[in-house]
Structure 1
Amino acid sequence: HQAVIFPFICGHSPPLSEYSNASLSPNSLMTTKELQEYWRNEKRQCRQVKLLFEIPSTRIVEHHLSKYVMYKIIILQTGSFDSNKSVIERRYSDFEKLHRNLLEEFSEEMEDVTFPKKTLTGNFTEEIINERKLAFKDYLRLLYSMKYIRRSKKFIDFLTRPELQEAYGCLRGGQYTKALEILLEVIGLQERLTRGNPLSIVPTLCAIVVCHKDLENPASAFEYGEKALSCLHVHTSHRYYIPLLETMITLAYELGKDFLSLQEKLEEWKAKKDPIRVFTLKELAVREYVQ
């Protein structure tokens, strides 16, 4: 029997009712249940990943000479469970700096975007804090709805840079467990924010490799190294390519994996390029986000 084939257009599957009378023989390739699952998977793959912003709570921070409100921002992926959420904290001045930076580059797009103004008094009252929570939530939602802004480095930096700076500070200080914990939190958000630009996450992936390697987790280091290499497969002139390749050869040898194919890529690169000073992966990683 020939299997019934159903047309599918990305993001627009026909309703099941259209096929309710279709006779599926026992030898058909898919049952109705399998077809439903197939359509769901296809839609998931084709649907653009969208993020939602929630600001559920705040906390007041007091130092010797300063006092400010930290806003807890939860970033959720649409249609996902809690495992796909990211949690960050930002203060009013962080939002203010983002707004100022975006105005410099996107003055036209930002024309109708309002920003919560400063008040001379009452900044720490429950009423003002609640107003700002709602205002900042709407502000982030509006920024994310504009394609050029959500893809901009300034917007992505606002959501990821403070955590990355902390992680790299820990890495430079030899606090690999703490650095790894932060990097693993950030990488998921980075991936969702920078879809279509895989090169932008290579430094973070390589920093994760360095942490796992120094913590003697070679299998995990190799796993993240493979992800980074897949981002670089057509970008062999990238500064991370050769240091990553050399690290992966070492890890593959240690794990009893095929290192010859990696060695061939390294030799191929060396044959094409003039010998130059190449940093190790760790040397490159510790140079990131140096203030």
Structure 2
Amino acid sequence: MTTKELQQYWKQEKHEAKPVKVLFEIQSSRIAEDFLSKFVMYKIVILKTGSFDGSKVSIERRYSDFEKLHRNLLKDFKDEMEDVLFPKKVLMGNLTEEMINKRVLALGDYLVELYSMKCIRRSKKYIDFFIDPELDEAYSCLRGGQYGKALEIFQQIICLQEKLTEHCLVVMVPSLCAVVVCYKDLEDLKKAYEVSLKALALLEKHPGHRYYIPLLETMISLAYKLGTDFVSLQEKLEKGEKKMRQGLEIPTVTLKELVVKECVH
């Protein structure tokens, strides 16, 4: 192949039609303001396609959030994104109905275009765009003892992660464990145990994961209080500790201590 033919080949490969698994729709917008300026918040609805999705979830982002995402992705995927169109910044008229409507369409198309590229939709920078602000708020609420509010936000985050991280669901473990901690401190031990089972299922193939031992210790305590089987959990714990020890002392940290340390900047 000549250089030109090779470039054409990769261009074709890059734009090859792929089945869409997640649908992004900018459903609405609103003008917000802080002490410095006015800006537009765009409501993004994320929905799975191909089957009924009863867990439709939405987030709000402003143009500057999209702009930051674009800059960050270009650092890692400049070649892959050479043909991706991003709506340019305008100095005047960005709050007019006409401009907002144009951006609603353009930003929606932008998210779909990014998702069509496997390397991007699986990148941490892309996924962080959808969950980072909410994660910061959720952990802040948890550390402040606002367990009910934290629980509500974490449940939304988990819905997003289920849609966006099918390639590596183990990344949901910290969020699930945060939910366990919230339910436990709200004294809903049954729900805490149910969620911990989901987290453990994701960790079965990752016994070296930092959450594995603390989660099992919490589950044993919950199972004992609920009067359910904890012997099998105890066996998993002993097996996991033996595998991790390898002559070294295992650091003693509780699940709550581990969760509280997450997302600290």
Both proteins in one fold, TM over 0.5: yes
In structure 2, the partner of 1:279 is: 253
* Aligned partners of 2:120 and 2:126 also within 8 Å: yes
> Cα–Cα, structure 1 residues 220 and 206, in superposed 2: closer, same or farther, change >3 Å?
same
Partner of 2:262: 288
Q: Deviations over 1:201-247 (max 9, x none)?
A: 11001001001111111111111111111111121111100000000
**TM-score normalised by structure 1 residue count:** 0.81
Shift of 1:290: 1.1
TM-score, with structure 2 as normaliser: 0.89
Match of 2:210 in 1: 239
Give the Cα–Cα distance (whole angstroms) in 1 for the partners of residues 31 and 128 of structure 2: 24
Whether the aligned pair in 2 keeps the contact of 1:206 and 1:225 (CA below 8 Å) is yes
Letter in 1 for 2:257: E
The question of whether the paired residues in 1 share the 8 Å contact of 2:213 and 2:241 is answered with no
Q: Distance in 1 between matches of 2:74 and 2:242?
A: 47
Superposition map of 1:70-219 within 5 A:
70-81=41-52, 83-219=54-190
Could you tell me how far 1:141 is from its partner in structure 2?
0.6
Distance in 2 of aligned mates of 1:179 and 1:223: 18
Contact 2:122 2:167 in 1 (8 A): no
Give the SS at the match of 2:54. helix
Partners of 2:179 and 2:241 lie apart in 1 by: 26
Residue type at the aligned position of 2:62: R
Contact 1:56 1:72 in 2 (8 A): yes
| Equivalence for 1:12 | none
Matches within 5 A, 1:30-41: none
Letter in structure 2 aligned against 1:56: Q
CA contact (8 A) 1:49 1:192 kept: no
Displacement of 1:84: 2.2
Q: Please tell me the residue identity of whatever aligns with 2:234.
A: Q
Q: CA shift at 1:200, angstroms?
A: 0.7
Identical residues among aligned pairs (%): 65
Structure 1 partner of 2:12 = none
1:5-28 CA-to-partner distances (Å, cap 9, x unmatched) read xxxxxxxxxxxxxxxxxxxxxxxx
Q: Deviations over 1:114-159 (max 9, x none)?
A: 1111111101000100000000000001101111111110110001
Larger RCO: 1 or 2 (CA < 8 Å, sep 6+): 2
Q: Does residue 260 of the first structure (1) align with residue 228 of the second (2)? A: no
CA contact (8 A) 1:55 1:71 kept: yes
The one-letter code sitting in structure 2 at the alignment partner of 1:103 is L
Q: Which runs of 5+ in 2 are unaligned?
A: 1-18
Deviation of residue 167 (structure 1)? 0.6
Question: Take 1:268 and 1:141, find their aligned partners in 2: how far apart are those partners?
Answer: 44
Quote the offset at 1:179 in angstroms: 0.4
What RMSD, in angstroms, separates the aligned Cα atoms of the two structures? Answer: 1.4
Which of the pair has more CA radius of gyration?
1
- 1:49 deviation in Å? 7.5
Count the aligned residue pairs: 244
The amino acid that maps onto 1:106 is F
Amino acid at match of 1:178: K
Question: Distance between the aligned counterparts of 2:251 and 2:23, measured in 1?
Answer: 44
- Counterpart CA distance in 1 for 2:157 and 2:205 is 25
Kindly tell me: are residues 82 and 226 of structure 1, through their superposed partners in 2, closer, same or farther at Cα, counting changes over 3 Å?
A: closer
Aligned 8 A contact 1:52 1:77 in 2: yes
Trace 1:15-54 onto structure 2 (pairs within 5 A): 50-54=21-25
